[in-house]
Structure 1
Amino acid sequence: MTAVDEIMSAINDAVTLGRQGDTGAAREQLATLWSGIGANGDPLHRVSLAHFMADLQDHAADALTWDIRALDAADSLTDERARAHHAGLSVRGFYPSLHLNLADNYRRLGAFDTAHQHLEAARARLDDLPEDGYGLGVRAGIANVEAALAGNSTDRLPSHP
């Protein structure tokens, strides 16, 4: 039997709080957890927390900071560590979503060329995604960000927090 990962449980609790509308409390809980994890802590904890913290930010520059932290953590995460948490996880499967989020942040900041680069990086890794709800959601997100880029829009997309 796998031991419960208390940090991942706390991250999930904060994410649930944010999805229920209490983004301030969710950000506060995640910030406290980040202080304990640190910039050199467990890569799975860092990538998960940073990825979700980015989604809770009101400004694209703040989201970008957290999404860069998530990408950095993914670069040091191993499949072995990811699978210790959940047998179906693969680090390769993280990258399309991470690059999609970076593309959206850069788009919202008006850095369209950089946004296109990250969108291409997301597209290049689509084969690493399963054909499930997660994979379909990332693919739809890519299409939404691509359409916004085509219109030079910096507006927040309702489909991509």
Structure 2
Amino acid sequence: MTEQQREETSDDGVLTRIGQAIMLHRAGDREEARNRLHTLWHEIGPYGNAFHRCTLAHYMADTQDDPKDELDWDLRALEVAEGFLTQRPEADTGTRGGGQVADGRGPRHPVIALRAFFPVLHLNLAADYVTLDRPADARAQLLRARVWADALTDGAYRRGFRAEIEHLEGRIGAAPGRPS
């Protein structure tokens, strides 16, 4: 591995590259964002930093054109996060996890970073299931999202999740076939 490759896959380099792909996506270049995230996914590999892999899969889902592909990537993000939390305790040293506090205040223990990510992972899965007309699966994911959101410290972040959950619950409630 060259010095440049080591630098590009360092904690800061990976997060920077994920951020650049997100900016491309938000600017309307979905295909280039998807290509860059795909390349980075393969560079990180299956044993790479769990926080990076989870974040990358989460954003990769947003770049998909097919709702089933989006669901697959959102499931992959959740699988990575859950897998990290269920590792042996001695593996939970922070050396494989890493993580950045959402407000940019610096690194935080990987378990804390990933736990804060669970509400959005479940909320995205619920939205995927709504899109795929699977209301029972969507409701199950919303329940999980609510549990994880309720575990967050009270504040704007938590209230935002609660509002999103309620909004999606309203969409499911308006869907045909809902039991009375």
Alignment of 1:143-154 (within 5 A): 143-152=166-175
Of stretches 108-117 and 121-130 in structure 1, the one that deviates more from structure 2 is 121-130
Matched, 1:139 2:159: no
1:54 — aligned with what?
61
Query: What secondary structure sits across from 1:41 in the alignment?
Result: coil
Alignment of 1:70-149 (within 5 A): 70-75=77-82, 76=84, 80=94, 81-83=97-99, 86-87=107-108, 89-149=112-172
Q: 1:131 to 1:21 in 2, by over 3 A?
A: farther
Q: 1:79 to 1:132 in 2, by over 3 A?
A: farther
Question: Larger Rg: 1 or 2?
Answer: 2
Residue identity opposite 1:6 in structure 2: G
Matched, 1:30 2:37: yes
Counterpart-to-counterpart distance in 1, 2:39 and 2:58: 15
Residue identity opposite 2:124 in structure 1: N
- RMSD across aligned positions (CA): 2.3
Asked if the contact 1:79–1:91 (Cα under 8 Å) also holds between the matched residues in 2, the reply is no
Counterpart-to-counterpart distance in 1, 2:34 and 2:155: 28
Q: CA deviation at 1:63?
A: 0.9
Asked if the contact 1:47–1:74 (Cα under 8 Å) also holds between the matched residues in 2, the reply is yes
Counterpart-to-counterpart distance in 1, 2:157 and 2:98: 17
TM-score (norm 1): 0.82
Q: 1:134 to 1:58 in 2, by over 3 A?
A: farther
Residue identity (%): 38
Counterpart-to-counterpart distance in 2, 1:102 and 1:4: 27
Alignment of 1:37-48 (within 5 A): 37-48=44-55
Q: CA deviation at 1:150?
A: 0.5
Counterpart-to-counterpart distance in 2, 1:61 and 1:79: 35
Query: 1:39-93: CA deviations, max 9, x gaps?
Result: 3322111101011111122222111111011101111155843457623853221
Residue identity opposite 1:36 in structure 2: E
Counterpart-to-counterpart distance in 2, 1:122 and 1:130: 14
Counterpart-to-counterpart distance in 2, 1:33 and 1:119: 30
Count of aligned pairs between the two proteins: 151
Asked if the contact 1:53–1:66 (Cα under 8 Å) also holds between the matched residues in 2, the reply is yes
